[in-house]
Amino acid sequence: MAQETSQYPHCTSCNRPILPGDRATKFMCPNCHEVLIWRDSKCRKFSRKYKCSNCGFEGP
């Protein structure tokens, strides 16, 4: 049976679903504090950029 990924949050950088047990992090946008940013372990490790969908803030 395939796992339904739409119910899980997605990495803000690569849009990959964050599954239970993944080493991901979440935090509010450091600029506007209104959007929850999710980062998977690979995007954090390689410092891939993310962009806030509300204010456009970009971070590593």
Per-residue pLDDT reduced to its tens digit, 41-59: 999 999 999 999 999 999 9
Q: What is the pTM of this model?
A: 0.83
Whether 49 is in a domain gets the answer yes
Residue 59 domain-assigned (yes or no): no
Inter-CA distances, 14 with 1, 11, 19, 37, 54, Å: 25, 6, 14, 12, 17
Rounded to whole angstroms, the Cα distance separating 60 from 36 reads: 15
How many Å apart are CA 32 and CA 48, to the nearest integer? 20
| pLDDT the model gives residue 60 | 87
Report the Cα 45 to chain-centroid distance in Å: 13
**Mean per-residue pLDDT, 2-28:** 89
At 15, which helix (H) or strand (E)?
Answer: none
In a domain? residue 24: yes
How many domains does the structure of the chain reveal? 1
| Residue 41 within a domain | yes
Q: What is the pLDDT of residue 22?
A: 94
Q: Give the domain extent around 29.
A: 1-54
Would you state the pLDDT for residue 1?
A: 44
pLDDT of residue 47: 96
